[in-house]
Amino acid sequence: MEFGNNAFGIKSAATTYFNKQPSELNVEESALLIGMLQAPSRYNPVRNPENATTRRNTVISQLAKYDFITDEQRDSISAIPIQLDFRQESHTEGLAQYFREELRLELIKWCKEHTKADGTPYNLYRDGLRIYTTVDTRMQRYAEEAVVEQFRDLQKTFFEHWKGREAWEDQPQIIDEGVKKSERYRRLKSSGASESEIRKVFDKKTKMRVFTWKGERDTLMTPRDSVKYYKMFYQTGFMAVEPQSGYVRAWVGGIDYGHFKYDHVRAGRRQVGSTFKPFLYTLAMQEGYSPCYEVPNVPVSITTDDGQVWTPSNSDGEYGGMMSLKEALANSINCISAYLMKQFGPDAVIQIARKMGITATLDPYPSIALGTADISVYEMVGAYATFANKGVYTQPQYILRIEDKNGIVLQEFVPRKVEAISEETAYLMLNLLQGVTQYGTGLRLRGSKYGFTNPIAGKTGTTQNNSDGWFVGITPELVAGAWAGCEDRAIHFRSTQLGQGANTALPVWGLFMKKVYADPALQYSKGEFEKPEKPLGVELDCSKYRNPVQQQQGGDEFGI
């Protein structure tokens, strides 16, 4: 049902014209909307109030004719002037703007592929389709609030960090590239303007409204300066999913859809850093290693097929001594990852990642162990959910079903499931990843700001030069992940203390989960991760455990 002004359906119309829910409409308001159905443009109360009043009163007369109201009520209601609270809905307003756009694109594709009884394809806007999604409005609100709280403060720190300097000073071409990617440049170019003419436009001050964390602000600046201004904003992608069902409960694709429309949940793929290491450790657990297995913390060299020698260094520059795999993953020790990569090779690691839902390009080089691949938040959260779902990968799902206007189910959606790893391997990985929040790079979740005391498995990630920050956190019934970084990788914090994932991305997870746990209606588990029914094949008490792999080797044989 179309009501004009981009209002489709009675709920949308009630909100647009009266800022009410359908159940809150009175007789004259309901009659006006029903009257519009015959000709939404002719009887539009905004553009044609006289026509709308006449049509409304016709409907009111019909109500009296069929005894829904009395003649006295008819006369009284018909004399009431139209009183609107007109608020045309915008796709840049309200909850879940990035998710709604993702959903819209998915549904447009669906409509093209499905036809009605008369053989014509469905129209998303005119056929009254009912779309049921998995997103929880409460959790979506908590996710968006968490993003605002974290990035409002982080942005202030970032501006102060670069005060008096330009973050692109070593790569000035970034701004020229940004100019050419802008909508203003494309419009000028398509109109036939020369490069010199375009340059003059971009160097001339003009009125514009820009985004700030204190609200939109009218200002005067050159279009080139606006490109520089927006390049400095930290962006994010955040998604939360229930691992057992695969249902996506929250989806935040960026800091503000009105000004930054690129979705960093699914469309955006960025280097994942150490959040990739769990795939490597999963392979180790599958091959019989234990979280307690010890490896020397020394540099490891691997010669690739093309003769190149890869020798990663630890980010803290510290080496020496023996270290358990659990401690190594908790503190993201690169040398230990290199040791494991030397045992198994990149192809086997890629195979594990594929089973766990990673579809991004993964080049078979040893450096993949440190997270050189570009992967989306959608894929990473879905993969990590495998650990909480006893080794079964469940593709994240955000559409439940589609019905026609009469409530007839046109399609129900069932997520794809794959037995990716064994239940024991998944549980061992949860044990490993709990070390991250117990004494590793995610320890701040236990501090006073968040105060979590329940079991949490997770992994931080920070890429070269602090260009990308990551955190994916796992609880028994909810897995969520966040990425943080600027649009251009060359723009970043110069300090790892400020730019690491634990400082940029982890707070979004912490703030979100704190709100979720505080909502008594949600009731997500704070309990322990469920153990496999079968006894574990390895001991988790590192004080008494000696790894059988090490025994078979007859000691430490590292081939360095």
Domain boundaries, the chain: 10-78, 168-231, 234-534
Q: Please report, in tens digits, the pLDDT of each residue of the chain (560 residues total).
A: 678 777 778 888 888 898 889 999 999 999 999 999 988 889 999 889 999 999 999 999 999 999 999 999 999 999 999 998 888 766 567 899 999 999 999 999 999 999 999 999 999 988 989 999 999 999 999 999 999 999 999 999 999 999 999 999 989 999 999 999 999 999 999 999 999 999 999 999 999 999 999 999 999 999 999 999 999 999 999 999 999 999 999 999 999 999 999 999 999 899 999 999 999 999 999 999 999 999 999 999 999 888 889 999 998 889 999 999 999 999 999 999 999 999 999 999 999 999 999 999 999 999 999 999 999 999 999 999 999 999 999 999 999 999 998 999 999 999 999 999 999 999 999 999 999 999 999 999 999 999 999 999 999 999 989 999 999 999 999 999 999 999 999 999 999 999 999 999 999 999 999 999 999 999 999 999 999 999 888 878 876 544 444 333 323 222 22
Mutual orientation of helices 173-181 and 223-231 as an angle, nearest 10°? 110
Is residue 210 within 8 Å of 226, Cβ to Cβ? yes
| Class of the domain covering 234-534 | alpha beta
Identical fold between 10-78 and 234-534? no
Phi then psi for residue 121, to 5 deg, are: -70, 155
The CATH architecture of the domain made up of 10-78 is: Orthogonal Bundle (1.10)
pTM of the entire predicted model: 0.84
67-70 contact pairs (CB < 8 A, 24+): 69/27
Cβ neighbours, 10 Å, residue 225: 16
Question: In this structure, are residues 410 and 114 in contact, taking their beta carbons and an 8 Å threshold?
Answer: yes
C-alpha closest to that of 445 among 536, 513, 351, 379 = 513
CA distances from 96 to 13, 58, 395, 441, 489 (A): 20, 39, 20, 30, 26
